[in-house]
């Protein structure tokens, strides 16, 4: 039982420390105005305090990691549970309010739109932290006695981390998403039509073939007509094997500002 309770402490500390380092690096290397406007939790605060918001989050992660490493104090154990539970709530809010924004969990590497994998990861981390509350040993002792439970937890987190795909893409292309060559238009359209968002709205369309398409940064947009002759715009993220897909309906009166769309479905 002692082994089970403390098995996930090394993973929790590692995730907190990686989050700290990535956020600090992102703030330190982002010099252009609005450079943090696509990363949570910076997305949810005014632009002038986006950098400080990420640094405050990083400082909190560092304190929690240090407490888990050195002590068994319940303040740090329950604080970690609260941190990951709050992170889950923030990601759900981001997905609802800003479906184009990334979670920012690991700085700029987490710039892909928030999906179910990112949310599932924070839920898993919340569960790991809750189990570890009653561990009788500090994190450093748990790290000296790794078990198969630690390996299993690491595998689960890896499967729920879209950042791994982003890092692989960066190694292959050595450029951020918006500067990489885009997949062929037909490939992106196929990914759109394989998505749940497409299946949910396909019946509203007058034709399954888009009348226009264009790329903006990391997104490719496809414009269709519905049976009311309104524009239906789908946006497909250009990175990852299972890219995020967003949809918006633009009335004929507003069609002059087609690229300036408001997401209504994810």
pLDDT of the residue at 261: 42
pLDDT of the residue at 254: 57
Global pTM value: 0.64
The rounded average pLDDT for each run of 10 residues, N- to C-terminus, in the chain (266 residues) is: 72 92 80 53 69 85 95 94 92 79 73 82 93 90 85 90 76 66 80 86 88 88 89 85 82 55 42
Q: What is the DSSP string of 148-202?
A: HHHHHHHHHHHHT-THHHHHHHHHHH-S-GGGSPPPPHHHHHHHHHTSHHHHHHG
CB atoms within 10 A of CB 2: 12
Bridge partner list, 205? 226
Give the C-alpha separation, 71 to 93, whole Å.
Answer: 33
- Please state the separation of Cα 32 from the chain's center in Å: 22
pLDDT of the residue at 123: 94
CB atoms within 10 A of CB 144: 9
Instruction: Name the H helices within 30-162.
Output: 50-70, 74-97, 116-132, 139-143, 148-159
pLDDT of the residue at 96: 80
């Amino acid at each position: 039982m002692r082994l089970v309770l403390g098995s996930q402490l090394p993973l929790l500390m590692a995730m907190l420390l990686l989050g700290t380092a990535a956020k600090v690096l992102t703030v330190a290397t982002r010099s252009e105005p609005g450079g943090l406007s696509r990363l949570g939790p910076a997305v949810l605060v005014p632009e002038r305090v986006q950098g400080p918001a990420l640094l405050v989050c990083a400082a909190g992660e560092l304190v929690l990691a240090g407490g888990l490493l050195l002590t068994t104090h319940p303040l740090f154990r329950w604080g970690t549970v609260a941190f990951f539970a709050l992170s889950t709530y923030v990601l759900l809010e981001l997905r609802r309010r800003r479906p184009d924004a990334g979670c920012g969990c690991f700085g700029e590497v987490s710039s892909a739109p928030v999906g179910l994998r990112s949310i599932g990861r924070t839920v898993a981390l919340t569960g790991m932290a809750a189990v570890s509350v009653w561990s009788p040993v500090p994190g450093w002792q748990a790290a000296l006695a790794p078990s198969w439970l630690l390996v299993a937890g690491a595998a689960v987190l890896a499967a729920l981390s879209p950042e791994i795909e982003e890092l692989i893409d960066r190694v292959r292309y050595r450029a951020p998403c918006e500067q990489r060559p885009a997949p062929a238009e037909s490939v992106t359209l196929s990914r759109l039509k394989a998505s749940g968002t497409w299946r949910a709205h396909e019946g509203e369309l007058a034709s399954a073939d888009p009348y226009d398409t264009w790329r903006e940064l990391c997104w490719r947009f496809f414009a269709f007509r519905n049976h009311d002759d309104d524009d239906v715009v789908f946006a497909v993220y250009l990175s990852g094997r299972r890219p995020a897909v967003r949809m918006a309906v633009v009335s004929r009166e507003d069609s002059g500002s087609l690229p300036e769309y408001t997401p209504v479905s994810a």
